[in-house]
Each structure stands twice: as structure tokens, then as C-alpha cells.
A and B are shown apart, each in its own frame.
Chain A
Amino acid sequence: MCGTCGCGQEDKISITRPGKENQHDHIHSHEHEHDGSKHSHSHTHSHSHDEGHEHHHHDEHDHGDHHHHHEHEKEIVLEQDVLQKNNLLAERNRGYFEGRNIMAINLVSSPGSGKTSLLEKTITKLKEEIPFYIIEGDQQTLNDANRIMATGAPVVQINTGSGCHLDASMVNRALKELDVSEDAVLMIENVGNLVCPAMFDLGEAHRLVIISVTEGDDKPIKYPDMFRSSDICIINKTDLLPYVDFDIEKAKDYALRVNHQLKFFELSAKSGEGMDAWFTWLKESIKKQPIED
């Protein structure tokens, strides 16, 4: 189904390796749309008999001979998680990552907080020590994937069309395209959006929320769901602190009150200040990936 407009057609998500645009099969082609609209009149009549009768006749006149078949109401208790499908697929992704000792990190933030810059700097600095693989999520364009490709790391771009978040199935498809090696770090840059991606587990080991000091220091309490579902928080663009009203302690306090388990890094991807702590954490974390029973 289409997560973009709810039209009932297949979605228009494309997964592309930069430089291979032309060879790639777009998953679920656009043909469905045309078919659907041509045939959409077909089911108007077929169901109406069964569905309509039970209710309508009652209130108008109670003619004695009810010729209804013995229908009775049945209640099914489901207690089924609405996101169960996504969660199951996320767990499959997680199993794949564990089996290959891949540390997957889901990067979430508002647009423009510096996710791609952080990735560029991190890859450039650590690529001799850690194999990086990147999945880029954006509504449109290969711009971010092209920036990453310039660093030399393998990258796949997911374009969600009008979709506002990545989900486990998109990541699953992108993984087939990317073929991540063992003992690698997989960075999944989500669609720039501080709301919707919070609900969708991708199978990541860590969820990293980035805020930049050019945003408000009350972001954590304005968008609590994202901060609540993350375990790492990077405060970026600290080189701009002298020029803005951002109170870093206040932002951290708000974030901790939403989620007291958050781990913070304060850094500037541009100037490089504070980046060492982040690099150290990455190197340490890849070594001690949890092995679950």
C-alpha cells in the first residue's frame, strides 16, 4: 500500500546506488497507478446486497417475516500491535546485523542540523579503521548520497517520495542493494523530521538524535517522542554558540527529563571540536557489540 497518499496502490519508493541510476530496477513500478484508475469503477455494485440489508429494513417497517439468515455478531479479541509488521521486520534486520557483527545507527533530526556533515567527517576520519556503509533517506534527490560517495563509503539512497520516515522494510530492501560487510558500522540517515521517524524501529542498535545550537534549546520538550526513543544525543554546531542564544545545559536538562538515559556529545562537525569523544565512542562501541542469548 502507498504510505504517501493512502491510494491503495504500491508505494513509489526508490532505492538507488549513486552512479548506477540507470541500471536499477525501481521497486514497484508506476504501472499500477494507471491500471488502478482505469478499473476503479468495477466493484461498486457487487457487494451492496449482502452489506446493506441487515440494517436498513429494521427501522422502517417491521414486517413480521424476517427472512434473514441466522447471522450473529462475533467479537474477536486481537490485542495486536498496529506496528507489528514493522517491528517484526526490524527484528529481522537486527538479526542480520548481529549475525554479521554490524553496528547499525539510525540518525534522526530536523532537516539541516548536520547529519550528513557529521557522517562525512566521521567517515573521512575513521575509514581506515572502520568499514562504513551508509543508507541515506530523503524524500527526493541523490544529493546526500553523492556527498557520501565522495568520501569513498558505499552508499544507497532511499527516496521516500512524499513519505516522512524510513521504515524497516525500506531498510531491508536497501540492505540487499548495499551488501554490508562483516564488522562494519551501518549509518542510516533518516528523513529529516523530528516527529514521524520516532515510531519506526529499523532494527538499529542505537538511535542518535542530533540537534544543532541554531535550533531552540527547548527542542527536546517540543519533540519529546524522538528524544524519548533515542539513546544518544549529539548537540552539533557548537562553534556557533557565541552567536546564538542556545543554552546547552538547559537543552541537556530538558532532554534528560524526557529521557534520563541519553548519552550526550557536544561537538562541531565543521570545526572538529568535540569530535574526538564521538570517534572514541564509535571505536569502543564496535568492539563491544552486545551478543544476545
Chain B
Amino acid sequence: MHELSIAMNIVEIVEENAATHEVNSVSDVEIDVGRMSGVVIDALRFALEEAVKSSVMESATICINEIPAKSKCLACSHEFEPNDIIAVCPECGHLYADIINGKELKIKKIKFLE
């Protein structure tokens, strides 16, 4: 259940930014979560429901973007979206690939009324 720690980190970062701009409520928070980030989006949503209480995010609309994964084949450098954890390169059939996208876990933007 590390999603709760993640959710609390999100609230903390948004609170810090809200304080910088001297607002006590934000209306929108947009978060990028990569498919390979290790975060389960449903669990994060659930954790956020609790974590936002009594915070500047309490009434915010939270938008979570799921970022697709991208792998690069170690043999032929072909870039592809792995459909499985142990994806095979669709070009050359090689078994090993590096992940080049999909590990994102960041707060993209926030919106508020000032």
C-alpha cells in the first residue's frame, strides 16, 4: 500500500505550491503515472480520497494520465510498446529490452483561482 505514501507526497507538494501562491484551495491537479512506475492507479485514486481531506486539494478535480510504456530492443533498437512485462521485440524477436518510457510519476500542473 505504498500508494498512500505517494498520495501524501502529492498533497504535500500541492500544498507547498499553494502556499507559494498564497491560495488556500486548488481547483485542478493533473498527475502523470507511467504504466511501469510501480503505482496502481486505482489504489492511488483511493488513497488520494483520504489524503486530500483537510488539505488545499480537498475539493480539487484530480486528473490522472496513464502514460504508456515504451521499450527499446537491445538487439535492433526498435522502439515498441510492450504489451506484457516480458515483451518480445516485434521486429527481431529479441527477448531483452530497456524501458525508455512509462516510469513517470509526477505532478504535471495545478490550477487555482487567484
Name A residues whose Cβ lies closer than 8 Å to a Cβ of B.
1, 3, 5-6, 8, 43, 47, 50-51, 54, 71-86, 163-165, 167, 195-196, 198-200, 221, 224-225, 228, 254, 256-258, 260
Contact = CB atoms under 8 A, between A and B. Distances in A.
Given A81-B106, A228-B99, A196 B111 contact: no
Looking at chain A's contact residues, the main secondary structure is: mixed
A74 B113 contact: yes
Nearest to B28: A75
B2 A78 contact: no
Contacts, number: 115
B57 interface: no
Contacts of B51: 6
B108 to A, nearest CB: 6
Contacts of A221: 85-86
A76 B13 contact: no
27 contacts: A1-B8, A5-B4, A47-B25, A51-B24, A54-B113, A72-B113, A73-B112, A76-B17, A76-B110, A78-B107, A79-B107, A81-B106, A82-B6, A82-B105, A83-B6, A83-B105, A195-B2, A196-B1, A198-B38, A199-B6, A199-B38, A225-B38, A256-B95, A256-B96, A257-B86, A258-B85, A260-B98
B114 A74 contact: yes
Contacts of A47: 24-25
B112 A74 contact: yes
B111 to A, nearest CB: 5
Looking at chain B's contact residues, the main secondary structure is: mixed
A82 B4 contact: no
B7 A6 contact: yes
Contacts of A256: 95-96
B109 interface: yes
Contacts of A228: 36, 99
Contacts of B98: 260
Contact of A71 (B4, B21, B24, B113): B113
A3 B47 CA distance: 11
Nearest to B11: A1
B2 A165 contact: yes
A53 B3 CA distance: 33
Contacts of B37: 199
A53 to B, nearest CB: 11
B9 interface: yes
B2 to A, nearest CB: 4
A165 B106 CA distance: 20
Contacts of A51: 24-25, 59
A256 B98 CA distance: 11
B79 interface: no
B114 A72 contact: yes
A78 B107 CA distance: 6
Given A43-B54, A81-B105, A199-B2, A254 B8 contact: no
Contacts of A43: 54
A76 B109 contact: yes
A191 B1 CA distance: 13
B100 interface: no
